[in-house]
Amino acid sequence: MAAIMIDGKAVSGRLRQEMTAEVAAMKAAGITPGLGVVLVGEDPASQVYVRNKMRACEELGIHSQDYRLPGDTTAEALLELIRELNCREDIHGILVQLPLPAQIREEAVIAAIAPEKDVDAFHAKNVGKIVQGNYDFLPCTPAGVLELIRSTGISVAGKECVVVGRSNIVGKPMAMLMLHENATVTICHSRTQSLPEMTRRGDILIVAIGKGKYITGDMVKPGAVVIDVGMNRDENGKLCGDVDFASVEPVAGYLTPVPGGVGPMTITMLMRNTITAARLARKACP
Ligand code: GUN
């Protein structure tokens, strides 16, 4: 039996439609959600991401403004811009595209963003709130994955969920969200012994390790929900996930394709966080 495909584009499209109506209602009430997008340097992948984020804002009626700084920008200059954006009443969300050039410490930049404008949910205060289960923002990729799992109609409570990858952006918050959903959660990583044994336990298997086609069919429990967060190029330059689609598809119950699975959801969740930030907005500056 072949896996049922989880269509990230379709789920994302439905959510964006709802959000478009929400933004229109907010505008009618005098609030236009606004997102400030900061890009330092010329990284081509980052330029594509930033363009897609701004395009999504436009589609939904969200105001967006980009700030493109040269690659040799100093940390102080970037922090100054963030302080300015923290005080802007028309900018409710601030997104600093990562990675940053080597001379700028990412942690210092993340710490400088006002937590109520931190639409990536990277600030320590927001991470702490997520751990406590009392949060305003969820990081965009884990939030998108949760929506995709919900779209299957499979109930998560009590299930074995295995997360492969422990990054601050995906693996760690993802595990926490699944715990809040009452799954029994295991986090695996590059140092995990007997990885196939662990991944085969997962009724839900979420893979974010950044290694192309790493999870093969023999590592998957028959009928499992498999979510592939990876985005890699294979030996022919073709986009591929962390999951080996050809061998997993006959084993899994549900599977996200790459592209067209998690990818479209991430920006949609950024839009949701920007709308939330606009709702939360309070005058924090003089
Ligand atoms: N670079 C890669 N992923 C992300 C993300 O989710 N947010 C930001 N700000 N930069 C990224």
pLDDT, tens digit, 9 for 90 and up, residues 76-110: 999 999 999 999 999 999 999 999 999 999 999 99
Find out whether 81 and 53 touch, Cβ atoms under 8 Å.
Answer: no
In the structure, what pLDDT confidence band is assigned to residue 51 with cuts at 50, 70 and 90? Answer: very high
Whether residue 53 lies in the annotated active site: yes
Rounded Cα gap, residues 164 and 171, in angstroms: 7
Residues having CB within 6 Å of any atom of ligand 1: 95-98, 120, 140, 169
Whether residue 97 lies in the annotated active site: yes
Choose the catalytic residue: 118, 120, 228, 242: 120
Q: What is the model's pTM?
A: 0.96
Buried b (16+ CB within 10 A) or exposed e, 231-248: beeeeeeeebbbbbbeeb
Choose the catalytic residue: 9, 43, 47, 53: 53
pLDDT at 284: 60
- For a substitution probing ligand 1, which of 49, 127, 168 has the most ligand atoms within 8 Å of its CB? 49
Q: Are strands 254-255 and 225-228 parallel, antiparallel or unpaired?
A: parallel
pLDDT in tens, 55-67: 999 999 999 999 9
Q: What are φ and ψ of residue 199, in 5° steps? A: -65, -30
- Kindly tell me if the per-residue pLDDT of 286 is higher than 80: no
- Average pLDDT of the chain is 97
